[in-house]
Amino acid sequence: MSLTPQNISDIRDSWQALAAEPEALTADFYETLFRHDPALRPLFGATDMAGQGRKLAAAIALVVKSADDLAPVLAPLEALGARHVVYGVQDGDYDTVGAALIETMSRRLGAHFTPAIRDAWLAAYGAVAGTMLAGAAAARRKSA
């Protein structure tokens, strides 16, 4: 899946504002995620959440940087999806994560979170989640 030039522009422009406070962004995201589905909290039981937040912000930044050519990040995203199977992540959890991410971005950007920016992030998240889900499916087939 490729993003349109307008998607890429919207993602990059909005990411500049979102990335200004990465710790607050990711803390807000995880709070939103656990509010959407408290059953996901145990998946992070032994996790250093500050470190996890830094990893999440770095992963989003990489997708933003690579938005005009996602090919180089596809294999790492598939591998990440495979690792998430080991962590206990279920396919349906990707929808919950996407909803929490969009809600968090909307809240943090306020009136600047336009329908075009929402659509751009949904497209980007769809590409990421789809690739990770493919990696998860391959890992499940391999272990079956």
pLDDT at 1 over 80: no
Q: What are phi and psi of 10, to 5 degrees?
A: -65, -40
**pLDDT at 99 (0 to 100):** 98
- The sign one gets for the Cα dihedral 58, 62, 67, 71 is negative
| Tens-digit pLDDT profile for residues 17-62 | 999 999 999 999 999 999 999 999 999 988 999 999 999 999 999 9
Please count the CA atoms within 13 angstroms of the CA of 138 that sit on its side-chain side: 14
Burial class (CB in 10 A: 0-12, 13-18, 19+), 10: buried
Q: What is the mean pLDDT of residues 124-131?
A: 96
Task: Output DSSP code: residue 144.
Answer: -
Domains in the chain: ranges and CATH: 5-143 (1.10.490.10)
Q: Report the alpha-carbon distance of residue 105 to residue 95 in Å, rounded.
A: 15
pTM summary value? 0.93
Q: Report the alpha-carbon distance of residue 101 to residue 32 in Å, rounded.
A: 8
- The sign one gets for the Cα dihedral 82, 83, 89, 92 is negative
Q: Report the alpha-carbon distance of residue 64 to residue 7 in Å, rounded.
A: 10
